[in-house]
Amino acid sequence: MGRSPCCSKEGLNRGAWTALEDKILTSYIKVHGEGKWRNLPKRAGLKRCGKSCRLRWLNYLRPDIKRGNISHDEEELIIRLHKLLGNRWSLIAGRLPGRTDNEIKNYWNTTLGKKAKAQPLSSQSKSNKLKKQAIDSDTAEPSDSTADKVQVIRTRATRCTKALVPLTHSQLVLPTDDHDQIYNRNSTSTDPLQPQVVQQNYLVDHPHNQDSNNSNLGYGDEEAQENMHGAFYSADFLNLSCCNEFEGSNFDEKMESATAAAGYINSNISIDQDQSQLQNLNETTTMDCWTTACLEDNATINFESLAFLLDPEEWP
């Protein structure tokens, strides 16, 4: 009853790939495209299992791949992302064009992990250190005083095959004191609580471009509100970004930074999970839905804890 092996191991090559194998694989994929890995070796005439072919292509043969010479900026970014995400190498790699999860993982294990441990806060600006101190005091765990205690946000790695259109700005109601209403002024859906599921290439207006006077934040601090707006919108936004539809979109720098920062929160969550959460919701707010869907177990989201990532200076 167990899971069947991905391919028969008998008579297959293992270990390092030869130049000829690389050539065969590359030309096959150039003609037929990626995917169908299980059948690929047979069709291409390779004595490798599909998994091995996939790995070779993704980590080595893809034309857009950068290899070696990881820049200082990239290092900084990896360290920050690792603080935020932990060992979610594919998510981290997703923000470093041309880098693979395997390369980043290796680089971390051999180089950056040690560096990060040795100089945990060395590169942070004073203001961000202050922000971070405030954050740490808010989210402090009763642990040792090392810099490793920054809360890691873990999402579920799932395949994204369709996108849930985020509510537009005027449809959003951030948490209110009584948690009693969700309005949806511009909705085309008959039921304001029903998510609108569309195909991947469906474009929606980004809330950034819309009027911003309708939110009802329960937060006094203006900066926190602003950061939260950015983070929240961007978190929605990145749901689509994870489907590769928004890469390279033309937003201003700050918004991109916010997008990048907040996107990590849920860039890889299952849209269907969201959908079911939304369908089941009763008196919870939209925000509750997103955060519930985004986080596992007992983790709680604190958008302000991402504020330091919203500073454009902090992102290359």
Partner DNA sequence: AATAATTTCAACCGCGTTATT
Partner DNA sequence: CAATAACGCGGTTGAAATTAT
Q: Which of 67, 194, 276, 280 binds DNA (CB under 7 A)?
A: 67
88 binds DNA (CB under 7 A): yes
# of chain residues touching DNA (CB under 7 A): 48
**Is residue 109 within the footprint of DNA (CB under 7 A)?**
yes
- Provide the mask over 147-176, with x wherever binding to DNA is found by CB under 7 A and - wherever it is not: ---------xxxx-x---------------
305 by DSSP, 3-state: which? helix
**Residue 82: exposure state from Cβ atoms within 10 A (0-12, 13-18, ≥19):** buried
Which one of residues 196, 210, 212, 273 is an interface residue with DNA (CB under 7 A)? 273
Ramachandran angles phi, psi of 116, nearest 5°: -60, -35
Query: Which listed residue (26, 87, 176, 212) binds DNA by CB under 7 A?
Result: 87
**Nearest-5° angle of CA 259, CA 266, CA 62?**
80
Which residue has tokens 């890469």?
247
Which residue from 52, 184, 257, 277 is in contact with DNA, where contact means CB under 7 A?
Answer: 52
Q: Are 66 and 107 in contact (CB under 8 A)?
A: no
Q: 93 or 258: whose CB is closer to DNA? A: 93
Q: Does 101 bind DNA (CB under 7 A)?
A: yes
- Least Å distance, CB 198 to DNA, is 14
Terminal C-alpha separation, the chain: 50
Using rule CB under 7 A, residue 300 touches DNA: no
* 253-266 and 72-85 helices, crossing angle to 10°: 40
Instruction: Tokens for 181, please give them.
Output: 């209403």
- Of 122, 125, 127, 130, nearest to 147 (Cα)? 122
Q: How far is the CB of 127 from DNA (least distance, A)?
A: 31
Instruction: By CB under 7 A, name the binding residues for DNA.
Output: 1, 3-4, 6, 9, 13-17, 35-39, 48, 50-52, 54-56, 59-60, 67-68, 87-91, 101-103, 105-107, 109-111, 156-159, 161, 270, 272-273
